[in-house]
Amino acid sequence: MTEEVKIGGVSLNFKHYSGVDLYSDGSIENDLLEIVKKYKKEDYQKVIEERNSWPILYHLSEQRSNIVEWIPMDPRSKVLEVGSGCGAITGMLSKKAGEVVACDLSRRRSEINATRNADCDNVTIHVGNFRDIEPDLSRDFDYIFLIGVFEYGQGYIGTDSPYEKFLMMLKRHLKRGGRIVIAIENRLGLKYFAGCAEDHLGSYFTGIEGYSADSVARTFSRNGLINIFKKCGMNEYHFYYPYPDYKLMTLLHSDKYLPGHGELLDNVRNFDRDRLVLFNEKHAYEELVREGMYPEFANSFEVILGPGFDTIYCKYSNDRVDEFKIRTDIATDIAGRKVIKKFPLTEAAKEHVYGLRDAYLGLYEKFRGGDLEINDCQISEQEGCAIFSFVNGVPLSALLDQCIDRDDSAAFEALLNEYIKRIGYKPDYPVSDYDLIFSNVMVNGPIWTIIDYEWTYGKCIPVKEQVWRALYCYRLEDRKREHFDPKPVLKRLGLSDKEMQELLEEEYAFQKYVTGSRKSMVEIWRGIGRKTIVPKELQGGADAARPDDCVQIYFDEGEGYSEDESVFPEEQYDDNNVIELDIKVSPDCRMVRVDPAFAPCIVTIQDATWNDRSLSDSSTNISIHPVNGEWISDDTFVFNSDDPNIEFGVSEETAGGKSRNHLRLSLLTTIIPRNSADAIAESVHTQETAGVVQKENILGRIGRKLKEKREARYYKDEEWD
């Protein structure tokens, strides 16, 4: 085998390659190689949306590189990347550094890496086990990156104390003042308690319970990592907390800037596999934040071993079109004061960021003499960013939440009225902030400051429209906020139902303007088809022992299903086992799940309409899917599960037609024994496989049984032999 080959500008070194790929994701790697050969990087997002595959999302998403993009790096830096995989991180390091040396076990993955990054002329990839490659590496690296790699230390090193040995080997290759960067899951991350399987092994609670001796990977708690560092004599370390995790990070907190109330909203989606939902992670995180315990339960860590950085917080907004992709940092200056910086992530986004100075000047003039302060903005050409002062206080959204938590409607109304009064200053001045939502207003006693005005326009936006959008966005983030009914306020401001509908359509158009034609991460998650499973037993107390013919309804507005936000309708089955449901569906809902019973059953949809149009009308564009059941006719399913689910999929166009939609269902449900349901489901499945489904015969036999026992709700197993 030739020791070194080149793909584009990337050098591949096979000196230590054994001839066998010791790590592989299987055939998907062949697909990835074909994709990176065929498509340019700017086309990867389209491929991700078309393929609906977690491995393709994971390896090709530009959000993967967020975990290193924020790190301030001298462009002359020399970088070592251990475990470079398919190159999601390598390309970003190549942009930021002068030289990148990468190592990976897999030839196929390294070929993918080199092909996708062929335009990089400063990258060398060594293929083989790091233990064999290590002696050939130089000892003058400014940075060494282990992104999703440290947990495999046992496999790389294969000795006693492999993780300590791994770090000591790496330490030899750092120049003085260099840094090792580790990104890894927290084995005590909240999502693993809440029902996500361990990432590497796919089993529930494995990391929490401490792993077994033969585990192929092992993650650590915060204290567990610190103990390893100290054993290696590495006493200078800095913890950052990527959220939702390090793989697709959108937020990065640190010990110097921990999350505040209501920041951690993106919890339920889990792209790699289905998951349980055992409790509301958002509410749990709020309690952990309040108790100062977030660092122990963050889902992932990013640790800087060596000198720290001025950056203490990052927020990525790069799920947008190129013109609006930005990163927001909070950093400390020479005097230790916090400052906010907004960086363009693309050349096209520079105009958007630099235009924030003009937005500041316009809003400053509008509110001069009023009761709203505007956070100042300066442009730094040297750093290539917009710089703002850090404003102390509490977001208005958090103050409103506190009113809801203590059921203080008078205080809520008072805050809302104060907001309306303050934003109403100079209503005819031709400058308006379209995004004047509650979370962008910082309250510090009598001083209210607009801290983010990214979407400011040189026109008048009526106060009533700004209030509508602020309430819309506020209620969208958390269902508990729906306890406040905004209609009386909006009516008082003079908004008609027609105007509110027009504003809703304008909001959808604005979101498309920002994101372009690309799908949101919610839509991608849904396309991949992951499920969130909520055990019914977790309803708690006396409610846990529900009758078998109880109905439960869930709504997915982008965060998956939540037990806390499900409803048990007042309607009940009548004497003929029929229930009539009128389900109110918000325009943001994309999936309604109806659980028709808590036992195996046969369900017939006797009637179904969406806003009074039959679902048989294709124009309603509502899909119907028995999640864990089998179709046995055009309108009937059998469920051989104690947790039958019927999902009704709602497109954005269908849902956006009204401020509140109605899904009306008439269901005939008959509880049957498990062994009977198993037999029916197996019969349907077998005949479908053979291509000779005889639904009429199946239904005829079942129908005769049901008719004979019409009066009985439950049946003994022997009666169905």
Question: Average of pLDDT values for 319-345?
Answer: 94
Residue 706: phi and psi, rounded to 5, are -65, -40
Domain limits, the chain: 4-317, 334-517, 549-720
Query: What is the model's pTM?
Result: 0.78
> What angle, rounded to 10 degrees, do the helices at 44-51 and 521-528 form?
40
Q: How far is CA 246 from the centre of its chain?
A: 11
If residue 143 lies in a helix (H) or strand (E), which one and from where to where? strand 141-147
Radius of gyration of the chain (CA): 28
Residues 6+ apart with CB under 8 A from 692: none
Extended strands (E) in 611-660: 613-614, 622-626, 629-631, 636-639, 646-650
pLDDT band at 525 (very low <50, low <70, confident <90, very high): confident
| Cα separation, 324 vs 356, whole angstroms | 12
3, with CB counted inside 10 A (0-12, 13-18, 19+), is: exposed
Amino acid at 682: E
Q: What is the rounded (10 degree) CA torsion for 554, 557, 558, 564? A: -40
Phi-psi region of 541 (alpha: psi -120 to 50; beta: other; left: phi over 0): left
| CA dist 179 → 81, 157, 304 (Å) | 12, 21, 7
Amino acid at 249: M
Buried b vs exposed e over 199-231: b needs ≥16 C-beta within 10 Å? Answer: bbeeebebbeeebeeebebbbbbbeebbebbee
Amino acid at 533: I
For 62-71, write each residue's pLDDT tens digit. 999 999 999 9
Task: State the first-to-last Cα distance of the chain, in angstroms, to the nearest integer.
Answer: 67
| Cα separation, 585 vs 476, whole angstroms | 13
Select the more confidently predicted residue: 203 or 702.
Answer: 203
Q: What is the 3-state secondary structure (H, E, C) of 650-689?
A: ECHHHHCCCCCEEEEEEEEEEECCHHHHHHHHHHHHHHHH
Q: Provide the sign of the torsion angle of the four alpha carbons 95, 99, 105, 111, taken in this order.
A: positive
- Contact yes or no for 406/392 (Cβ under 8 A): no
**Least confidently predicted of 497-501, 511-515, 519-523, 650-654:** 650-654
Beta bridge partners of 218: none
- Among 491, 384, 371, 377, smallest CA distance to 422 is for 371
| Cα separation, 101 vs 120, whole angstroms | 12
If residue 341 lies in a helix (H) or strand (E), which one and from where to where? strand 338-344
For 377-420, write each residue's pLDDT tens digit. 999 999 999 999 999 999 999 999 999 888 898 999 999 999 99
Residue 545: phi and psi, rounded to 5, are -90, 70
pLDDT band at 658 (very low <50, low <70, confident <90, very high): low
- Rounded to 5°, angle at Cα 376 from 370 and 377: 140
Question: Average of pLDDT values for 536-551?
Answer: 62
| 178: its two tokens | 């260099």
- Rounded to 5°, angle at Cα 661 from 655 and 662: 130
The per-residue pLDDT for 536 is 65
Beta bridge partners of 316: 327
Amino acid at 264: L
For 170-202, write each residue's pLDDT tens digit. 999 999 999 999 999 999 999 999 999 999 999
Q: Name the CATH code of domain 4-317 (choices 3.10.310.70, 3.40.50.150, 1.10.287.990, 3.10.129.10).
A: 3.40.50.150
